[in-house]
Amino acid sequence: MDTLILEKAQSWVNGNYDAATKKAVQQMIDNNPNELMESFYKNLEFGTGGLRGIMGVGTNRMNKYTVGMATQGFANYLKKTYPNQIIQVAIAHDSRNNSRFFAETTAQVFAANGIKVFLFEDLRPTPELSFAIRNLQCNAGVVCTASHNPKEYNGYKAYWNDGGQLVPPHDKNVIKEVEAIHSIDDVQWSGGNNNITLIGAEMDQKYLNMVQSLSVYPEVIQQQKDLCIVYTPIHGSGIKLVPAALAQFGFTNVHIVQEQATPDGNFPTVAYPNPEESETMRLGLEKAKAINADILLGTDPDADRVGVGVKNHKGEWVLMNGNQTAVLAFAYLIEARKRKGIARPNDMVITTIVTTEMINEVARQNNVACYNVLTGFKWIAELIKEKEGSENYVIGGEESFGLMIGNQIRDKDAISAVALLCEMAAYEKQQGKTLFDKLIELYMQYGFYYESLISITKKGMNGQKEIAAMMEAYRLNPPKVINNSKVVQLLDYELRKGTNLITGEVWKIQLPKSNVLQFITEDGSKISARPSGTEPKIKFYFSVHTQLSNQHEFDQKLEELKQKIGGIITSMQLE
């Protein structure tokens, strides 16, 4: 056993930790060296998005002490940034095990530091936390969630005064302050209960009113109010607001998947509480089929991601991927605002560098400005702030099942997405079509774009090293040919450099540094490699496209695009 690891563990046994923690550490020292090593070999990193990790005792685990130390560092930064001012923060949490405990711990540490805390009385969706920060004019916020990770995980997402997650310079500066907290004895744990105010129903209603204001065609909903909707919160916080949002929009025929309706951090009906996973949406699909629904929707534990099921052109139920959902939502808002006469000349939309290029094409053909930012809604939020006053933000989104509609929140929001997707389904039903019919029409109009994603997981101490080595190999020796097509462009977002591999032309990428590589081939395929910021994974994104002249060609063209992605995966030896 590494002596440094043992020393760190021993300091927990001898320090000012609670008895249960000390006992658990001692048991690992005596009986479980592997678990001891994983729990103490490093400190759980406070990254640019906050904390995320497996729950348990140890420096590399989510527990009272790692959360308390992170909060003390965040509090210190807030006090330096806002000297001699009243500082306010909002705090929320989802349905995960210990989320309430971590939220209360966070509230108590902030409050003990003289900071005024608005703590939600019970679990709430992450987007409502973003909304509350703006509505209450808070300086910062925290939500305790690990989003869609497995049940063993929890996390701590840090927000700034605009309701978006931390971006430069605040992210790095908060990290420095957190890293300066070397002991739990540096943390002010208690003594500020008078600084904590519970919030709940009043904020819910303000948020729901905001969501309702996003509706473009309320009159269509009135005519299609019996649209048959199936919704599953997947044991998460969406149950608090999604049914209420749909009711406020005017929908009257909403069916909840009861087996997944109760918030439960053990997520008993699923392996992963992620609406991207078909198995996670299985119970919803079964219910949708049984009652012949028009649309199925599912949200993850903190209700910022949305999964969508619809009937395809053959009448079969299918789950749409995040790119398809985003294309439908972007096209609807751009086209519907035009039809309604509420589009503005300075409207803009925002997507990310690994999301479908089809969004750029939709925006281009409709003369709407479209910006591409790094992965993560904090970058969308940052660009909105930068463009405020000169351009009118309409919608942002990315391939990972996230949408952010309207400018009153600054993080992805599955509540407003569910409501608007149902409005979209109602609008198409009024025309005698499904959302899938509309998707095929969009492919015919803007080009048939198809995307896929594979993730390679590398766990444990060596996982990050292996992922770093893969990225370095691609950076030093980029492939010259992928799937029999020349690589004509290399985009390196870490070096902020684009290179035309045919002419040798080099240009600067005008985005912050990020460890992403993109290969553009002669036939227009785009392959992106990106280590995950929240999980021990490296992700590969594939995007291909063709033309679709009529709907009867759809199946054949789809198969061709799938085979093309299969060829790319084989040629890059990623299987």
The SS3 of residue 467 is helix
H or E segment to which residue 128 belongs: helix 126-135
Cβ-in-10-Å burial (0-12, 13-18, 19+) of 120 comes to buried
3-state helix, strand and coil shares in percent for the chain, rounded to the nearest 5: 40, 20, 35
Q: How far is CA 398 from CA 339, 359, 427, 465, 490, in A?
A: 25, 10, 23, 27, 22
Nearest to 133 by CA among 99, 157, 169: 157
DSSP 390-403: TSEEEEEEETTTEE
147 is catalytic: yes
Which residues are CB-neighbours of 462 under 8 A, at least 6 positions away?
none
Instruction: Compute the C-alpha angle 74/77/79, nearest 5°.
Output: 110
Q: How far is CA 313 from CA 358, 370, 435, in A?
A: 21, 30, 10
Q: How far is CA 310 from CA 23, 294, 347, 404, in A?
A: 51, 7, 29, 21
Q: How far is CA 301 from CA 75, 161, 258, 305, in A?
A: 27, 24, 15, 9
Q: Is the dihedral of CA 475, 480, 482, 486 positive or negative?
A: positive
Name the active-site residue from 147, 237, 485, 528. 147
Helices (H), 431-551: 435-446, 463-476
DSSP-assigned letter for residue 43 = P
Which residues are CB-neighbours of 120 under 8 A, at least 6 positions away?
90, 91, 92, 93, 103, 128, 129, 132, 198, 199, 200, 203
Phi, then psi, of 440 in degrees rounded to 5: -65, -40
Q: How far is CA 476 from CA 230, 408, 470, 500, in A?
A: 49, 43, 10, 16
Residues classed as catalytic? 147
